[in-house]
A and B are shown apart, each in its own frame.
Chain A
Amino acid sequence: MSEPLSQVSSSLPAVAFLVPLVAGALVLLGGGLGPAFGRRVSLVASLIVAIIGMVMVGVVTQDTVLTTWGNELRVDGLSALLVVAIGVIGFLTVVYSLRYTDRTEFRKRVGVGRVENRLSLYHALLLWFLGTMVWGCVTNNIIMLWVAVEATTLTSGLLVAFFWDRRALEAGYKYLMLLTIGITFALFGCVLIYACAAAVGQLDGRQALLISEVRNVASLLPPSTALLAVAFLLIGFGTKAGIAPFHPWLPDAHAEAPTPVSVLLSGVMIKMALYALARTVGMFFPSWPQITVFVVVLGSFTMVLGIIMALNQDDLKRLLAYSSVSQIGYVLAGVGLGTYLGCFGGLFHLLNHAIFKALLFMCAGAVIYATGLRQISELGGLARKMPVTSVCFVIGALAISGFPPFNGFWSKLTVYLALATSGLWWAAVIAVLTSVLTMVALLRPAYRVFWANPGASVTGHGEVRTVPASMWVPMVVLAAACVLLGIVPHLAYPLLEQAATALAALGR
């Protein structure tokens, strides 16, 4: 193991989530100041979060843990990984939405008369969504972790239903309802863990709320209660993370939400839920290693189910959403192993998936922006008119399939190796096969949309709008990150080592 970590008291973790929360309120209050105000505030606030995330990474890679308010907030490698992903993807998403929301169809769907009001609500909710996600990743209080996870559902619920038409409302209703039911189970789980930890007698009432303290006494908790709590947490946070069989809300919500919101939902929100799952369930791995096998089974099932559903989708965004289900299975399988290698691979994949799924959704958004269409069968031959988007999409598709030399290759390879070295050969085989299917599922639509002869399809005749720079620049940044982390993956290693050490509970 590495050197003991030194604790430093800092206000950074609090600032990281308070800034977007306050900025969101400002945007709402200043709704009368015109749409430019909301845009500027959300740009600045999300940039601050991204910068704080990077500063946190710099600090935690020096074997330091940041704490605030007497250990109430705590940022170790794992939290910093999530905060930087949320911050950077969040900032790029805000940049991306600047012009995306100008699209005529977008304005028509929202209702032309109300669009200005609705846009300030949009920016405010986006900021609150970011803020609550960051809050969940920096808190060390198990009850507050639950509150934050539920708060992300509430702040994103109206974003999912943003268009307020039949499809959006159905998705929004399912999203709010299923996630709230699921998450209530997690509250029961969190409360059970707290009650048991307090009953062990080594911690006082306040300490028993702190995840970092409970972790030390996890082995003393009575097995029956611990297993019950694990089951509740898997249902609760698992629903939020989109783990099969609790995933049915995910394709609806991720496909019907405005595309920038889909980027956040698929790119970071499901990871944040998986983080909550790993933090809470992971502490029981050393005492009950059987749980790890069960979690890997869940992960493998999720991988396969997700990609099979993705294979026969005609809706581009729905396809990407199902692929997110599949990919979260890899993260779960890796992190669920509990070994250092497994956590390392799982978390690396978490980071990579945040990058390339955000990229793919942004590309899908660019296609929608340019053509107003999202059914793959109606699209075709866009490569000549949208060269940047087509290249970015293919890079994303290859990266998500684990194709060298892109970043997904390294993280998937690590997950395969981790599964194999733990003796779970069947899971490794499933993971490899799923990767092959992923390539089929994503390259086929990529070919159809960008290169195939448009034939009788609509885009053969319709005009294609130019994608503005504020949309393609974030895409190029993310595509470059895919390539960069693929060629020099060790750039991410210092952070991932810290994160995996924080999480890994079983021998290296």
Chain B
Amino acid sequence: MSTTDLHVDLIRTLSMMVVITSVITVEVRRLRLSSVMYGIQALLIVALLLSFAAVNPALYWWAGTALITKAVLIPWFLFRYIGKTQETELRPLIGFGPSVVVAAVLMIGFFRLTHSYVDLLAHAELAQEEVFRTNLAVASTVFVVGLYAVLTRRDAVKTVIGLCLLENGVHLSLVSLAPEVSETALFGIATEVVVTVFLLLYVIHGVYLRFGTTDTLRLSELRG
């Protein structure tokens, strides 16, 4: 397997755009727009997978499943449910200005950290090569941005979007870390996310009908 035939520049550009879209997805407060950004990120991921597939044909499968699950099904579910609940995200715990700063610091800091200390994550020789270093750094950065969203957003739908980012991060890392995982395993991982998002939105819709809000801080029937 050689990486010389990879379009290194293309992969870099796509990777940067994946990171940027994840920050926008988190920061945009209009939920539909946020879902659109998520969909765009999914398409970028598919493109990334396709450009890596030159050295690992198994990734064609992964790209196909990612296209269906992340770029089609999940945004579709999000759109359907946003129509039934409110359009705009409830005010997050951290305001827009500080949040952008925090997200940017997280993004840059984490990217540099994982890019320089990639051997912490993977010892495979493959992972030491530049493109895969970039891939792992992007994967962990998207993961951290997703985690940040999950922890600081009070709107349930936005938390779900954060969760999707979290999953995207892990899935991206599979490119470098687990190139030989079987199709069934990939299929399992991909389906699981779709079902999770579907169930969560289904339950959130129930919450919205009963509580009149998707504010997770107002879910306080159970205490002690």
Choose among A195, A224, A252 the residue that contacts B120 (Cβ–Cβ < 8 A).
A224
| A187 x B203 contact (CB < 8 A) | no
Contact of B124 among A154, A199, A252, A309 (CB under 8 A): A199
What 1/0 flags go to A155-177 for Cβ under 8 Å of B? 00110010011110111111011
Interface status of B84 (Cβ within 8 A of chain A): no
Does chain B have a CB within 8 A of A209? yes
Q: Are A173 and B222 closer than 8 Å at their CB atoms?
A: no
Q: How many residues of B contact A (CB 8 A)?
A: 49
A169 touches B210 (CB 8 A): yes
B167 touches A184 (CB 8 A): yes
Of the candidates A165, A177, A188, A199, the one whose C-beta lies within 8 Å of that of B200 is A177
B113 contacts A by Cβ under 8 Å: no
User: B203 contacts which of A157, A196, A199, A252 (Cβ < 8 Å)?
Assistant: A157
Given contacts A143-B181, A181-B163, A191-B173, contact A313 B224 (CB under 8 A): yes
Given contacts A143-B189, A196-B123, A318-B224, contact A173 B173 (CB under 8 A): no
User: Which residues of A lie under 8 Å from residue B199 when comparing CB positions?
Assistant: 154, 157-158, 176
Assess the B120–A150 pair: CB atoms within 8 A.
Answer: no
* CA A135 to CA B211, docked complex, whole Å: 36
- The reply to whether B120 and A225 form a contact with Cβ atoms under 8 Å apart is yes
A395 to B120, CA, bound (A): 51
- Measured between beta carbons, the chain B residues less than 8 angstroms from A191 are 170, 173-174, 177-178
CA distance A255 to B176 in the complex (A): 42
CA distance A228 to B119 in the complex (A): 11
Instruction: State whether A225 and B121 are in contact (beta carbons under 8 Å apart), knowing that A169-B203, A170-B222 are contacts in the complex.
Output: yes
- Asked whether A150 lies within 8 Å of B206 as measured between CB atoms, the reply is no
Please determine whether B122 and A199 come into contact, CB atoms closer than 8 angstroms: yes
For residue A267, give the distance in angstroms from its CB to the closest CB of chain B.
21
B207 adjacent to chain A (CB < 8 Å) = yes
B192 lies within 8 A of A222 (CB): no
Q: B52 to chain A: closest CB distance in Å? A: 15
Contact A228 B200, beta carbon cutoff 8 Å: no
What DSSP secondary structure best describes chain B's contact surface?
helix
A147 adjacent to chain B (CB < 8 Å): yes
Answer yes or no: B159 CB below 8 A from chain A CBs: yes
User: Any chain A CB within 8 A of the CB of B19?
Assistant: no
Q: How far is the CA of A146 from the CA of B171 in the complex (A)?
A: 14
CB contact under 8 A between A252 and B200, given known A169-B207, A181-B163, A209-B185: no
Chain B residue, CB-CB nearest to A322: B224
List CB contacts (< 8 Å) of A197-238 with chain B. Answer: 198-199, 205-206, 208-209, 222, 224-225, 228
A256 at the interface (CB under 8 A from B): yes
Contact B178–A181 (Cβ < 8 Å): no
**Cα distance, A298 to B202, chains bound together (Å):** 35
Closest to A251 in B: B222
Chain A contact residue count (CB 8 A cutoff): 52
Contact B224 A181 (CB under 8 A): no
State A166–B211 Cα separation when bound (angstroms): 7
For the complex, is B188 an interface residue (Cβ under 8 Å from A)? Answer: yes
Q: Which of A167, A196, A208 contacts B222 (CB 8 A)?
A: A167
- Residue contact A199 to B159, C-beta cutoff 8 Å: no
Contact B196 A192 (CB under 8 A): no
The one of B159, B185, B224 in contact with A143, judged by C-beta atoms closer than 8 angstroms, is B185
Q: Is the CB of A187 within 8 A of B222?
A: no
Closest CB of chain A to B137's CB: distance in Å?
Answer: 14
The proximity string for A residues 19-32 relative to B, scoring 1 for CB distances below 8 Å and 0 otherwise, is 00000000000000
Q: Tell me whether B219 is interfacial, beta carbon within 8 Å.
A: yes
B42 in contact (CB, < 8 A): no
Does A151 make an interface contact (CB < 8 A)?
yes
A141 within 8 A of B: yes
- Nearest B-chain residue to A168, judged by Cβ: B206
Nearest A residue to B210 by beta-carbon distance? A166
Evaluate contact between A194 and B222: CB separation under 8 angstroms. no
Q: Decide if A373 is an interface residue (CB 8 Å cutoff).
A: no
CB contact between A195 and one of B160, B178, B184, B206 (< 8 Å): that residue: B178
Interfacial chain B residues near A206, Cβ < 8 Å: 180, 182
Neighbouring A residues of B122 by C-beta, 8 Å:
192, 195-196, 199, 225
Contact between A154 and B195 (Cβ–Cβ < 8 Å)? yes
The answer to whether A170 and B207 touch (CB under 8 A), given A147-B188, A194-B181, is yes
**Complex CA distance for A216 and B163, rounded to whole angstroms:** 34
**Distance in Å from the Cβ of A166 to the closest Cβ of chain B?**
5
Does any Cβ of B come within 8 Å of A180's Cβ? yes
B107 at the interface (CB under 8 A from A): no
- A residues contacting B by CB (< 8 A) are 141, 143-144, 146-147, 150-151, 153-154, 157-158, 161, 164-167, 169-174, 176-177, 180-181, 184, 187-188, 191-192, 194-196, 198-199, 205-206, 208-209, 222, 224-225, 228, 251-252, 255-256, 309, 312-313, 318
Top 10 closest A-B pairs, CB basis? Answer: A205-B180, A195-B177, A147-B188, A199-B124, A143-B185, A170-B219, A252-B222, A169-B206, A222-B123, A169-B207
**Which B residues have a C-beta under 8 Å from some C-beta of A?**
119-125, 127, 143, 147, 150, 156, 159-160, 163, 166-167, 170, 173-174, 176-182, 184-185, 188-189, 192, 195-196, 199-200, 202-204, 206-207, 210-211, 216, 219-222, 224
A-B CB contact pairs (8 Å), 6 listed: A144-B188, A169-B206, A170-B219, A198-B178, A224-B119, A225-B120
Known: A191-B177, A209-B185, A222-B119. 13 other contacts (CB 8 A): A143-B181, A158-B199, A167-B221, A169-B203, A169-B207, A170-B207, A173-B156, A177-B163, A192-B177, A194-B178, A195-B124, A309-B224, A313-B224
